Structure 1
Amino acid sequence: MRAAVLVEGRSDSAALERLAARRGRDLAAEGVAIVGMGGATNIRRYLELLGPRGQGLALAGLCDAAEVGYFRRGLAAVGLGSDLSLAQMRARGFHVCVADLEDELIRALGTDAVEAVIADRGELNSFRTMQRQPAQRDRPLEAQLRRFLGTRGGRKIAYAPALVDALDLARVPAPLDGVLAAV
């Protein structure tokens, strides 16, 4: 292995693996591993294990906007830069989703396309039921979609590659393309 992409969880891994395949990349053959860390709070441990003080791999990463602080502190702790701006993080291969992976994919696809993916998976009625709940009725459609994707265990993981499959490759969210381009 020559490089690792550090991601928060399994849905991020599934999305990036599918995107790499759609871009014609065989990450395993290239010596690139996508490593789900089980949450952003584990970044320092993985940076220490796989980075310059550990296995010496080339590193990149992807996180949600709310988790940037963990990534910044982890990068600083292993000597990869302190008080990094988002641009400096990107230059080092660490990319940040505006809110999260699902938000990036929903914005890139548009709500109609996301609803079509939900329909293709036979869950449109479940989504409509969720939309009628009092807590959801007045929320924007994008927020309802994000909530639906996160409501049942495993749903985010199952939908991540399906949403990537629906993407026009000319409209891939910048953080996803950026992190793969870094390795």
Structure 2
Amino acid sequence: MDEMKRFRAAVVAWAAGGPEAGAAAATAGELAAAVGLRAVVLVEGASDVAAIEALALRRSRDLDAEGVAVVPLGGATSIGRFLGLVGPQGLDVPVAGLCDAGEEGYFRRSLERAGLGADLSRDGMESLGFYVCVADLEQELIRALGVAGVEQVVEAQGDLRSFRTFQKQPAQRGRTVEQQLKRFMGTLSGRKIHYAQALVDGLDLARVPRPLDRLLAHVHPARL
């Protein structure tokens, strides 16, 4: 495991608390220095990590080498604890993040409690480097690619026949194709993460969803 992966794992273990938290905190501090940590990006889950890292690669960026750690929270409600660990009261490194519209309130209130702002609007959150997906990153990517583009990605992954069968299920018949595609990508373990990367790989780089585009721009080395 390379040092940036170890750093991310240490932060997650630190946030989990328990008897190992103290050792994890010490490890995170040591590794922050070792990797030249310049920013931490806090996202809800592993599929968000996959999408961000895939877009960075397409733009010829190596986030690890830049000292940018993308850390999954394991759920939006953990944002406050992670901010306490890596933000001004903890490691004191610049923080940024990405969340779904439904979790915007958790992020906003946690940023305020961490002392990073007051009475934050969405614009205020963005000024801090925190961006909101409408309604979530999967929907942002589906809109950016369009139904035909997403189906081309599904076909390239060898899943188009399975998707057509999925569409015929009674529970799917009243849904839009966009809704069916989103649901299909979440039906098997690991598929959501896989498709987060595959959809980004299929994007026209002139049509990158705004939250994803702005987030990466915010943690560009020229701004840190």
Aligned counterpart for 1:87 among listed residues 117, 120, 123: 123
**Per-residue deviation, residues 86-119 of structure 1 (Å, max 9, x unmatched):** 1111111000001111100000001111111111
Q: Does 1:172 align with 2:208?
A: yes
Q: Does 1:60 align with 2:96?
A: yes
In structure 2, distance between residues paired with 1:173 and 1:76: 26
**Per-residue deviation, residues 8-40 of structure 1 (Å, max 9, x unmatched):** 000000000010111111111111010111111
In structure 2, distance between residues paired with 1:101 and 1:11: 9
% identity of equivalent residues: 64
TM-score normalised according to structure 2 size: 0.80
Where does residue 34 of structure 2 map in the other structure? none
Alignment: residue pair count: 183
Q: Does 1:10 align with 2:55?
A: no
CA drift at 1:153 = 1.4
In structure 2, distance between residues paired with 1:21 and 1:122: 23
In structure 2, distance between residues paired with 1:87 and 1:128: 40
Is the radius of gyration larger for structure 1 or structure 2? 2
CA drift at 1:150 = 1.2
Aligned counterpart for 2:65 among listed residues 13, 25, 29: 29
TM-score normalised according to structure 1 size: 0.97
What amino acid sits opposite 2:194 in the alignment? A
Note if contact 1:72-1:82 (Cα within 8 Å) is conserved in structure 2. Answer: no
CA drift at 1:82 = 2.9
Greater helix content? 2
Q: Does 1:102 align with 2:138?
A: yes
Q: Which runs of 5+ in 2 are unaligned?
A: 1-36, 220-224
Larger RCO: Structure 1 or Structure 2 (Cα < 8 Å, ≥ 6 residues apart)? 1
In structure 2, distance between residues paired with 1:83 and 1:155: 38
Where does residue 176 of structure 2 map in the other structure? 140
Q: Which runs of 5+ in 1 are unaligned?
A: none
In structure 2, distance between residues paired with 1:83 and 1:112: 41
CA drift at 1:182 = 1.2
What amino acid sits opposite 1:126 in the alignment? S
Where does residue 84 of structure 2 map in the other structure? 48
In structure 2, distance between residues paired with 1:21 and 1:62: 18
In structure 1, distance between residues paired with 2:91 and 2:186: 34
What amino acid sits opposite 1:44 in the alignment? G
In structure 2, distance between residues paired with 1:167 and 1:11: 16
CA drift at 1:127 = 0.9
Instruction: Give the CA RMSD over aligned residues.
Output: 0.9
In structure 2, distance between residues paired with 1:88 and 1:94: 9
Partner of 2:92: helix, strand, or coil?
Answer: coil
